[in-house]
Structure 1
Amino acid sequence: MAVLSAGLFWERRDVPGSEHVRLNAENGLYAQGTALAAGPVAFACHYEVQTDPGWVTVEVDVRTEGAGWARGVRLELAAGRWRVTTSEQGDLDAALVAAGHARAGLPGIEDPDLLYGAFDVDVSGSPLTNTLPIHRLRLLDSEVGVSHRLSVAWVLVPSLEVVQADQIYTPLGDNRVRFASETFAADLTVDDDGFVIDYPGLARRITPGPGSS
């Protein structure tokens, strides 16, 4: 396993919380991260992300845990198809209902073939995973204003339900990339390596990037 020689830290803006990740990006990306958030219920999220040298995501392991519950989901890409395995302990729904929220979906996805053609995984609330398509598509070197539509495996946190999602990334120049879905858009500020510095309304990084001295 590569030495995790770089670290990034974000402060959440939507709810009290933070995210810390250690990573190595010398030959693709390998990252280990932990996110803490106070909503919709207080939880910790631990994840590992592995890409191939071309930054196609090949393996993601996500675990969430809170008072009285814990969940896990693992996604592995092989021969263009995703294999999804899950685990569940305790009762997340009870915690959500007690906090005034709707019940969560089950972890994982009923039909992994719905993810066919997805080369990126998006862990909701994590600015790290926005870097995956930005780097894979070389968006900082792409023509400004030209949109790139892609299919992703979207991991909802804290439920760890996995859904297929269509997303659009558009380079804007000056290290800015517009991220959009059917109902949402945000202009991300990134460093020269494509790692998010500012995600309006979600998180702002408070550490230098991997290439910083």
Structure 2
Amino acid sequence: MEATALWQHLWNSRAPTPGLEHLRLEGRRAGSVLLAFDEQGSPYRLGYRLEYSQHWRPRHLHVRVDDERGTRELRLHCNRSGEWRDGAGTPLPQLSGCLDLDLWPTPFTNSPAIWRLDLAQDQREEIAVAYIEAPSLDLQVMRQAYTRLDARHLLYQNLDGDGFHAVLTLGDDGLVEDYPGLFRRLRRWAQQGPPPPKALERDLREKSRS
């Protein structure tokens, strides 16, 4: 599977401009770069690489954050038995039983969980995920649920905390197109180029009338 996505990050309403993420998926490997502002208004850069098994279970993660405090990195590895270790090889027993990984803030990591679950119409499944929150890179276990509404829409639920939920819209490639209020996928312009400025549009209309 190969896909490219460009997402606008809308979750931080206090930011002077939306964040932007570019992702490239090749087979079971994904690489992405994100530029955004954190909730305190500081800019940061997030880069991550993910590798999955044939059945979309996470195998390797490397995430790096660069901001005004410096550079932070996190590496995680999960074997076929579901045993997690950090980059130094130290076991992480608190993640035992987590078959999925969720990295905030990106809409990408919803898709591998959805692909792995392969839900039928109206089917609901609860999962435990290894949840990483950037830019701090704090790690915890989170309970989530997905319900298949139709071919293009799923209900996502956070079963911990405030019980957040949202209906996700997927594209033909299975990547998130719309995550209401948080992320929106941007599509390429038509082959004739980007939309012209309003002044140019006006000139073109006037010329067409003459």
TM-score by length of 2: 0.78
> Is residue 72 from structure 1 mapped to residue 52 from structure 2 by the alignment?
no
Q: How does 1:166-185 map to 2 (within 5 A)?
A: 166-182=143-159, 183-185=163-165
1:96 corresponds in structure 2 to none
Q: Distance in 2 between matches of 1:80 and 1:60?
A: 14
> Is residue 143 from structure 1 mapped to residue 140 from structure 2 by the alignment?
no
Q: Distance in 2 between matches of 1:174 and 1:5?
A: 20
Q: Distance in 2 between matches of 1:207 and 1:64?
A: 26
Q: Distance in 2 between matches of 1:5 and 1:174?
A: 20
Query: Could you list the runs of 5+ residues in structure 1 that have no partner in the other structure?
Result: 87-109, 209-213
Q: Distance in 2 between matches of 1:173 and 1:126?
A: 23
Q: Distance in 1 between matches of 2:142 and 2:131?
A: 6
How far apart are 1:179 and its partner, in Å? Answer: 0.8
- Deviation per CA, 1:143-200: give whole Å up to 9, x if none: 32x2100010000110011101000011111410111113200100002332100011
The residue type paired with residue 10 of structure 2 is: R
Q: Are the counterparts in 2 of residues 81 and 116 from structure 1 also a CA contact under 8 Å?
A: yes
In our comparison, the structure showing a higher alpha carbon Rg is 2
1:123 corresponds in structure 2 to 103
1:194 corresponds in structure 2 to 174
Percent of pairs identical after alignment? 32
2:5 corresponds in structure 1 to 8
Q: Distance in 1 between matches of 2:152 and 2:106?
A: 19
- Deviation per CA, 1:97-149: give whole Å up to 9, x if none: xxxxxxxxxxxxx972111111111001100000011111113xx132x2100
- Pairwise CA RMSD of aligned residues? 1.8
TM-score by length of 1: 0.77
The residue type paired with residue 8 of structure 1 is: A
How far apart are 1:38 and its partner, in Å? Answer: 1.2
Q: Distance in 2 between matches of 1:156 and 1:114?
A: 16
**Which secondary structure does the structure 2 equivalent of 1:128 belong to?**
coil
2:199 corresponds in structure 1 to none
The answer to which of 155-164 and 188-197 deviates more is 188-197
Runs (4+) off by over 6 Å: none
Q: Are the counterparts in 1 of residues 32 and 47 from structure 2 also a CA contact under 8 Å?
A: yes
2:132 corresponds in structure 1 to 155
**Which secondary structure does the structure 1 equivalent of 2:108 belong to?**
helix
2:58 corresponds in structure 1 to 57
Q: Distance in 2 between matches of 1:194 and 1:174?
A: 10
2:19 corresponds in structure 1 to 17
Task: Give aligned pairs, total.
Answer: 176
- Deviation per CA, 1:59-95: give whole Å up to 9, x if none: 1111111123111101100232000138xxxxxxxxx
